[in-house]
């Protein structure tokens, strides 16, 4: 299994604090040491950092921790391999282009028999069930819509596809096209919304605190989504099995 971290905000925000705690789980406070990756949307563009080394000791992870890239949509993943060897090709998040936009995907769970990709226009490069499922989702979307539909329609389609996949195994995932971030809970996914009045937050996995009131503006709003809560003094909301949320501008949209 693996762990997921996502961030969706109404203004470009760095993820340094959350990533600092999250990466400890990649070999120090937890066993997810089979690689890690992170993708940052910046406008329509997307920056990705991937490594098959444990996130706690990867020089690229150390660089990302120290370099405050700002983004409104971020997806990160630390891997504990279930299917597919430890390699760059099997490292999440995965990326494809559909309708002239990048789509980023990361999965926590296990699908022993993912659906067939016969005649799919997206094919996996690596050998994980996760990338396979991502290709299936995009291929289904491409068959249903010739261009990106309105958000509510897209969300409904993703909810239907997620339901199919959840019936085949454990399927928690994060998906973003840079405008919205979709979070689907199969077994474990938590989130919180940080907004004014901002307070002090303290990480679970390492003794680091930040007083967000000192680094934010009063209209900032940030949603953080993670497999397990990252802080020990904030209220995280546990998502329900089968729940799909669509985060826009730092909060779940209707």
Residues that bind a second copy in the complex, under the rule CB under 8 A: 42-51, 59-60, 63, 67, 87-91, 95-97, 99-102, 121-126
H-helix segments, 88-198? 129-144, 151-166
Q: Give the shortest CB-156-to-a second copy separation in angstroms.
A: 24
For residue 151, give Cα distances in angstroms to 147, 198, 248.
12, 29, 10
Q: Which residues are catalytic?
A: 2
Which residues, other chains included, contact 244 with Cβ-Cβ below 8 Å and sequence gap of 6+? Answer: 155, 158, 159, 162, 182, 183, 184, 185
* CB closer to a second copy, 39 vs 201: 39
Q: Which of 2, 171, 23 is nearest to 86 (CA)?
A: 2
Q: Give the shortest CB-31-to-a second copy separation in angstroms.
A: 22
* CB closer to a second copy, 88 vs 200: 88
Q: Please tell me the distance from the alpha carbon of residue 43 to that of residue 32, in angstroms, as a whole number.
A: 30
Q: Please tell me the distance from the alpha carbon of residue 11 to that of residue 250, in angstroms, as a whole number.
A: 9
Instruction: Mark 144-177 as b/e (b = at least 16 C-beta within 10 Å).
Output: eeeeeeeeeebbebbeebbeebbebbbbbbbbbb
Q: Give the shortest CB-88-to-a second copy separation in angstroms.
A: 3
* CB closer to a second copy, 137 vs 166: 137
Instruction: Tell me if residue 150 falls in helix, strand or coil.
Output: coil
Q: Please tell me the distance from the alpha carbon of residue 83 to that of residue 102, in angstroms, as a whole number.
A: 25
* CB closer to a second copy, 87 vs 156: 87
Q: Give the shortest CB-54-to-a second copy separation in angstroms.
A: 16
Bond preceding residue 88 cis, omega within 30 of 0: no
Q: Give the shortest CB-51-to-a second copy separation in angstroms.
A: 8
* CB closer to a second copy, 94 vs 182: 94
């Amino acid at each position: 299994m693996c762990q997921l971290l996502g961030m969706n905000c109404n203004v470009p925000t760095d993820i340094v604090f959350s990533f600092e705690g999250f990466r400890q789980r990649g070999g120090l406070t937890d066993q997810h040491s089979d690689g890690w990756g992170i993708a940052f949307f910046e406008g329509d563009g997307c920056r990705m950092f991937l490594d098959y080394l444990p996130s706690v000791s990867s020089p690229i992870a150390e660089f990302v921790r120290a370099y405050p890239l700002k983004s409104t949509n971020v997806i990160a993943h630390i891997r504990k391999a279930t299917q597919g060897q430890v390699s760059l090709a099997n490292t999440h998040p995965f990326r494809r282009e559909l309708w002239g936009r990048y789509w980023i995907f990361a999965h926590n769970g296990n699908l022993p028999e993912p659906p067939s990709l016969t005649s799919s226009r997206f094919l996996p490069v690596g050998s994980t069930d996760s990338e396979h499922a991502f290709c299936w989702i995009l291929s289904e979307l491409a068959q249903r819509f010739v261009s990106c539909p309105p958000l509510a329609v897209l969300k409904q389609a993703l909810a239907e596809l997620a339901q199919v996949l959840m019936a085949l195994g454990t399927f928690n995932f994060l998906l973003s096209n840079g405008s919205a971030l979709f979070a689907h809970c199969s077994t474990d996914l938590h989130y919180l919304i940080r907004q004014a009045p901002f307070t002090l937050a303290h990480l679970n996995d390492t003794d680091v605190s930040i007083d967000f009131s000192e680094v934010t503006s009063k209209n900032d709003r940030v949603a953080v989504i993670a497999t397990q809560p990252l802080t020990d003094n904030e209220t995280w909301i546990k998502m329900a099995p089968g729940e799909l949320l669509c985060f826009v501008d730092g909060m779940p949209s209707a």
